A and B are shown apart, each in its own frame.
Chain A
Amino acid sequence: MKSVNQHNRFLRLFLSSLTFILLFTSQLSAQEIDSTQVRTGKKIFNANCASCHMLQKKFTGPALGGVEERRTNEWLKAWIKDNAALRATGDADAIAIFNEYNGSVMTAFPQLSDDDIDAILAYTTHGDIDKKVVVGGGDDEVVKEPSTAWMSYVVLAVLILLVLWIYLKSDNQFLKLVATIALLLTVGYFGYQALMNVGLDEGYQPIQPIAFSHKIHAGENKVDCQYCHSSAKHSKHSGIPSLNVCMNCHKSISEVAETTKVMIGEEKLGKAELDLEIKKLYDAIGWDADNFAYKENYEQKPVKWVRIHNLPDFAYFNHSQHVTAGGIKCQKCHGPVEEMDELYQYSPLTMGWCIDCHKETEVDLKGNEYYKKIHEQLSKKYGIEKVTVAQMGGMECGKCHY
């Protein structure tokens, strides 16, 4: 009996593995993709075609996924090599597609061989065969440290109860005196801190209308600060980019990568949420991502970003003086913005903070012939090689208050 059982098990194992192998091989043979050709095609496509074409979506030019089903191989080769010549022969399809895209001219690619074009077409038909399907996992959960704030609350509560008990229940006059002094000191300490914080917004991090991450833009993608804040070099204000600047990139980037994550407060936003954030931008400017064009007669809506850095009106600050003339890095005042998912005010922006920096920062006097004489006189006056901003008048009241 036992041996029969064993025998059955072997048979079952053999049969199931056979099925598995058969299934697997049949799957392989069904695809029949020349993977080297597709990979070569992808390379050529990315280098030559991808600036105007995508596989599944309309871009500057039409979507090319499955284009082999729509056109013959000969026609495509003729078109890709020299579409103007093909149109000149009076080919109806060629003229029709040219007119459909309002006469925008596709670059001719006479340098591509027939093999190259076949490879490109293989790629348009089979798509990205190496693309890995990401299944959920691989999430790097942030382990939260247990907060210790409650302990100080408990200690404080016990102390308050103790003082109350001394006042209300105890008859010991000395204890009451000690309690009063302690109470006054505590109130003085916290009261002073609270008053010193009035109008001081260090760490202020309001919720913005779009979950824009400086970490992704300036950090991971290394877009220069001044690309978007372009008026910092000439103007008092560093400038909030108008939406056309966003669209310089987001015309073609309509969704984020699978693995992109943004932390807003305690909340982690993934691809699903972030794609909606890009939609907010399209909604504000009136971009039709499906037709790859701006909507006509669309009433554009401003994005109401919440201002973080705000100086009182009586203090004058000019970005261009610091960025262009001073050559100061943005991070000096704004902190590690390229690491911030959510922007916050890094510096206190108090007068003392300004003055400290003016006292320390040395002015680069090189290559400034116009002020050569006055620079020499200054260094003679202070008996030093280098002068600081403060010594050049950066501490005069009227520089910032007038």
Chain B
Amino acid sequence: MKSFVKIITVLIVVVALSSCEDKRSRQVQYMADTDMYTPVGYETYGESTIGVDSISARLPVEGTISRGNVPYDYPDTPGALLVAKDSLFSPIKILAPNDSIRRVSKANLEQGKYLYGIYCVACHGTKGDGQGPLVQNGKFLGVPNYKDRDITEGSIYHVIMRGKGIMGSHSSQLSATERWQVVHHVEKLRNDLLK
């Protein structure tokens, strides 16, 4: 009887201690199953019971436009790129009443530079010469220098939206205004390179 008590005590202590070190599972969650802790509604990226698949994040209903989304009518074809190049113009490059050319505000250019630093720099490089860190360490090859390409604001926007060659579409990461801000930073880099 006595040795039995001893063995049980030692076992309990060992189990208690070893369970503290398991980093693969969560700690004890005292109230995790109450609605104070776990929301009643669906969690972002959670599973759902509605619909055929099990993701709570749904695509917009067909024929609707989600809030803040700006529709883009140029399809993903080589021809559409040529059309966009000449016919698509930036809504944030504005012609002031007493001005002769359209200009982009300083705030938009600065934001464009910031966003370029996040989404483009890895391949295209800070200067736009196609020498980003991923090109320099050989992960991506053949990223063009902006000055070697005949690009306009329309074609840059189209390529951000639809991608070109090995560059994929970056439309899901940027809003419409942000894309235009990046476009104008790219234009600025190209002009600097052409100097």
Contacts and interface: CB of A to CB of B under 8 A. Distances in A.
Q: Tell whether A and B belong to one assembly.
A: yes
A230 B172 contact: yes
A301 to B, nearest CB: 8
Interface string B85-126: 000000000000000000000000000000001110110000
Top 9 A-B pairs, shortest CB-CB distance: A51-B142, A50-B141, A248-B168, A50-B142, A230-B173, A312-B37, A224-B118, A313-B39, A205-B23
B27 A201 contact: yes
A100 B154 CA distance: 28
Contacts of A104: 78
A168 B1 CA distance: 12
Interface in A37-80: 46-52, 59-60
B17 A153 contact: yes
Interface in A217-249: 220-224, 226-227, 230, 234, 236-237, 240, 242, 244-245, 247-249
B62 interface: no
B141 A227 contact: no
Interface SS majority for chain B: loop
Interface in A156-180: 156-157, 160-161, 164, 168
B105 to A, nearest CB: 15
Interface string A114-133: 00000000000000000000
Which of B35, B119, B174 has the most chain A CB atoms inside 10 A of its CB? B119
A146 to B, nearest CB: 17
A314 B23 contact: no
Nearest to A308: B26
Contacts of A226: 118-119
A251 interface: yes
Contacts of B143: 51
23 contacts: A46-B141, A103-B78, A194-B20, A197-B20, A198-B27, A198-B28, A198-B30, A199-B32, A200-B27, A201-B27, A204-B23, A222-B133, A226-B118, A226-B119, A230-B119, A230-B173, A244-B168, A245-B172, A251-B166, A251-B168, A252-B140, A302-B55, A313-B36
A40 B35 CA distance: 66
Given A48-B142, A221-B122, A314 B44 contact: no
Given A160-B13, A221-B134, 20 more contacts: A51-B144, A153-B14, A164-B6, A168-B2, A204-B23, A205-B23, A206-B24, A206-B25, A221-B122, A222-B133, A223-B122, A224-B118, A224-B119, A226-B118, A227-B118, A230-B172, A249-B134, A249-B140, A249-B168, A312-B31
Interface string A90-119: 000000000000011100000000000000
Contacts of A206: 24-25
B177 to A, nearest CB: 11
B23 to A, nearest CB: 5
Contact of A252 (B5, B36, B166): B166
A105 B28 CA distance: 60
Nearest to A304: B47
Interface string B133-162: 110010111111000000000000000000
Nearest to A220: B137
Interface in A6-52: 46-52
B133 A221 contact: yes
Contacts of A326: none
Interface of A: 46-52, 59-60, 103-105, 153, 156-157, 160-161, 164, 168, 194, 197-201, 203-207, 220-224, 226-227, 230, 234, 236-237, 240, 242, 244-245, 247-249, 251-253, 302, 305, 307, 312-314, 344
B16 to A, nearest CB: 8
Interface string B44-69: 11000000011100000000000000
Contacts of B25: 204, 206
B167 A248 contact: yes
B38 interface: yes
A238 B6 CA distance: 51
A271 B140 CA distance: 18
Contacts of A224: 117-119, 121-122
A302 B141 contact: no
B28 A240 contact: no
A133 B133 CA distance: 25
B72 to A, nearest CB: 15
B5 to A, nearest CB: 8
Contact of A199 (B28, B35, B117): B28
B194 interface: no
A201 B166 CA distance: 40
Given A197-B27, A198-B28, A224-B122, A242 B172 contact: yes
